[in-house]
Structure 1
Amino acid sequence: MRAVLQRVTSASVSVDGEVVGSLDLTGTAQGLVALVGVTHDDTREQARTLADRIWRLRILDGEKSAADVDAPVLVISQFTLYANTAKGRRPSWNAAAPRTVAEPLVDEVVSSLQTIGATVATGRFGADMAVSLTNSGPVTIVLDV
């Protein structure tokens, strides 16, 4: 599994002009956006590990983690994280898992985050989403598990 994790001061995701997920940063100055990609042989255990790393990675101000300050997390599925651009000008998506594999694992990341105490918002799996965010720092980290 792979995630691109961004430290943000605001974030939301919309589908067809309707906001389907957003971060409520009342009480905390920052939150996290996690763009999550799944490949064919990923497992539920990897999803749980990824959730724990997202929650505990110390990338907020003062070297704090989301767990330290109860910062919310916006999780958005993103199959394009497994694009292969080695040849030509058109990316190959062969390494991205199909929906039947990927959706349950993204759901596992979300439920694992909630289980360990995170407030989580989400996008809509498979939808054409418009993501709006203000990256703070900027801080952008790639996590592979």
Structure 2
Amino acid sequence: MKGLIQRVKHAKVEVEGEVVGEINQGLLVLLGVEQQDSQLSAEKLCKKILNYRVFSDENGKMNLNVQQVQGQLLIVSQFTLVADTQSGNRPSFSCGAPAALGKELYNHFVYSAKQSSVPCQTGIYAADMQVSLQNDGPVTFMLQV
């Protein structure tokens, strides 16, 4: 499972012109699910993201996590993160989870995140989404479990 996290001042996701998820300060999480992933993968990645220290402390050092800054999460499914781009000029998605498994594990990740004290918003799994954000820094990391 892969999570591309971006520290944001605000972010939103729209489907068919309607805002379905929106946050202020926090993390935009683009989530990719691979064939071998499991509920344990989702839980481990969620825990890592919730505890990953990407927010600045009083000394300007990245020492605080999203929970410590009372931030929010916007979780968006992003199957293109798991593309194999090693050869050719077209990505292969053979490593990606089948749609049913991908949706199940995406939903489990969201469930795990909602068990924390961090307010969570989401996109809609497999929808054509438009994501808008103001990246803070910019600060972007790819996390994988």
- For residues 94-133 of structure 1, the aligned pairs below 5 Å read 94-133=94-133
Q: Give 1:127 shift.
A: 0.4
| Structure 2 gap segments, 5+ residues each | 58-62
Considering only aligned residues, what root-mean-square deviation do their CA atoms show, in Å? 0.9
- For residues 1-145 of structure 1, the aligned pairs below 5 Å read 1-23=1-23, 25=24, 30-62=25-57, 63-145=63-145
Determine helix, strand or coil for the equivalent of 1:66: coil
Q: Give 1:61 shift.
A: 2.0
Greater strand percent: which structure? 2
| Structure 1 gap segments, 5+ residues each | none
Alignment identity in percent?
Answer: 40
Q: Aligned letter for 1:38?
A: V
Please give the TM-score of this superposition, normalised by the length of structure 2.
0.93
Determine helix, strand or coil for the equivalent of 2:68: helix
Please give the TM-score of this superposition, normalised by the length of structure 1.
0.93
Q: Give 1:109 shift.
A: 1.0
Q: Aligned letter for 1:36?
A: L
Separation in 2, partners of 1:46, 1:88: 29
Greater helix percent: which structure? 1
Determine helix, strand or coil for the equivalent of 1:102: helix
Aligned residues: 140
Determine helix, strand or coil for the equivalent of 1:68: coil
Q: Give 1:70 shift.
A: 2.1
Q: Aligned letter for 1:94?
A: S
